[in-house]
Amino acid sequence: MERKNIADILNKSYGVDTSKDGITENDVLKADLSNIVDFGRKFVQGDDVAKKFSTLSGIIDKIRTTIYEDAEFIGTAPPCFKSNDDFRGLKEILHVEVGDFSENLTFDVDNTTTHNSFDALFGKELPEISAKYFGKCVHYAQKFTRTLNQFDEIFKSPENAVSFFTHVENAIRVKYDYSLDKLQIFTFNEAMLSCAVNNANCIATLNANATTTDIVLKIKEIVRDLKAFNKKYTNFATSTTMDNIHIAIRGDVYDKIITSYANVYNPKFLEIPIENIHVMPYFQFASAPDTVKGTLEDTNANSTDNIAKAAFVIYDSRAFGCTAYNEVIQSQPVANEYGVTNYFHLAEMEWIVNNDLPVITVCENGGGLTRNVEIV
């Protein structure tokens, strides 16, 4: 955290405002923290324990807010984190099935009986509409401890202040951001497995000794299929716009495609025809970059599912997502120790997978989906 952010947090925490009586420009904590000793002497010394506890809790919450306004964690997962509003829009999905087309008999003068029948004129053909509701939730909780002695050290030097704020920032941010990254990978993996299990077309295999050209041609084939209105990868006829078509591709496979450009006369024909490209070092495990394992729950069985030799995944970005909400930091003083407080960083994390939208996993030769189903 930058020193100017620390100064801003401390000024706000102690209500240092030059519009108030008795407070001058010299009292305001400077952006470089150079007057932090004088600041502490005027505004902090003399505070009782209860006041210090209250101020420290407020400072920690302000640190949390500043972190998520100013910093962005970069993880390994394909981004599927949604805002709360976008996530709510995915939780209930309505499908309207397109009915069968009927022949237009307007000019069939020899078939007036059928054309003018009661059913033809007044019969109803209502669209088939189905609603699916999604949402699974887990609770996030991270505990860390701070003491009033540590708090007092802030005001002894700028370096002490930076050290304290950095430690608090790390306690809040590192595990939370890591958990969000793992939540996105988990959601992505569940989408891969769920769609592969529910639609055989959502798992494909490249030919033996597939070249870079073969890989790119396969990507182009799937993109064409997704843009067309059909049921190839879904239970309902649908199409996907290019804005919503994403590809998550294993890093070494992507590197082969990129480096092959140097060996062809017109590399344009080997370009991946998707703007939203997410290069992943591994799909689930660093120790097995091309493998995804998981357990899916359905009505009749629990299964242990495994996708081996996954090369890339092309998907509709609306097919899965996750979010976090009700994030808060709560405090609890340790009654039998002076100046010791435990802080609890809490949040709700939720994810959804809609296998009625396409998520197509393409594996290298010899790979694919295997299931170990146990009837319950």
- The answer to whether residues 180 and 73 touch, using CB atoms and an 8 Å cutoff, is yes
* CA 280/CA 185 separation, integer angstroms: 10
For residue 63, being part of any structural domain is answered with: yes
pLDDT of amino acid 331: 87
Write the single-letter amino acid at 135. Answer: G
Question: Token pair for residue 327?
Answer: 């994030």
Closest CA to 322 of 151, 88, 24: 88
Residue 335: the pLDDT is: 85
Q: Distance from first CA to last CA of the chain, Å, rounded? A: 52
189 within domain boundaries: no
> Does residue 16 form part of some domain?
yes
d(CA 359, CA 202): 6
CB–CB of 281/270 below 8 Å?
no
Query: Over 125-181, what HEC string results?
Result: CCCEEEEEECCEEEEEEEEEEEEHHHHHHHHHCHHHHHHHHHHHHHHHHHHHHHHHH
Indicate whether 219 belongs to any domain: no
**How does DSSP assign 243-282, residue by residue?**
GGEEEEEEHHHHHHHHHHGGGSS-GGGGS-S-SEEEEES-
Decide if 155 is inside a domain. Answer: yes
Beta carbons of 148 and 53 less than 8 angstroms apart: yes
Residues 6+ apart with CB under 8 A from 108: 115
- What's the gap between Cα 85 and its chain centre? 14
pLDDT at 309: 97
- Note the pLDDT of residue 248: 97
Helix, strand or coil, per DSSP, at residue 29 = coil
In the chain, how long is the greatest CA-to-CA distance? 102
Domain count, the chain: 1
Q: SS3 for 61-85, per residue?
A: HHHHHHHHHHCCCCCCCCCCECCHH
Instruction: DSSP letter for 290, please.
Output: T
Q: Which of 59, 216, 224 is nearest to 146 (CA)?
A: 59
70: in domain: yes
Inside any domain, residue 302:
no
Q: How far is CA 294 from CA 186, 189, 197, 311, 337, in A?
A: 9, 8, 12, 18, 45
- DSSP structure class, residue 288: B
In a domain, 373, yes or no: no
Which residue type sits at 185? I
Residue 205: CB atoms within 10 A of its CB come to 18
**Domain that residue 17 falls in:** 3-77+148-180+327-344
On the CB side of 64, CA atoms within 13 Å amount to: 20
Amino acid at residue number 364: E
Per-residue confidence (pLDDT) for residue 189, from 0 to 100: 95
Q: What is the pLDDT along the chain (376 residues), one digit of tens a residue?
A: 789 989 999 988 888 876 777 777 888 899 999 999 998 888 887 777 788 878 888 888 888 877 655 555 567 888 888 877 777 655 555 444 545 545 555 555 555 555 555 555 545 444 454 444 455 778 888 888 888 888 888 989 999 999 988 888 887 887 888 899 999 999 999 999 999 999 999 999 999 999 999 999 999 999 999 999 999 998 888 899 999 999 999 999 999 999 887 777 777 777 899 999 999 999 999 999 999 999 876 645 667 899 999 999 999 999 999 989 888 888 888 888 888 889 999 998 888 888 889 999 999 999 999 988 766 5
Contact 360, 193 (CB under 8 A): no
Distance CA 376, CA 373 (A): 9
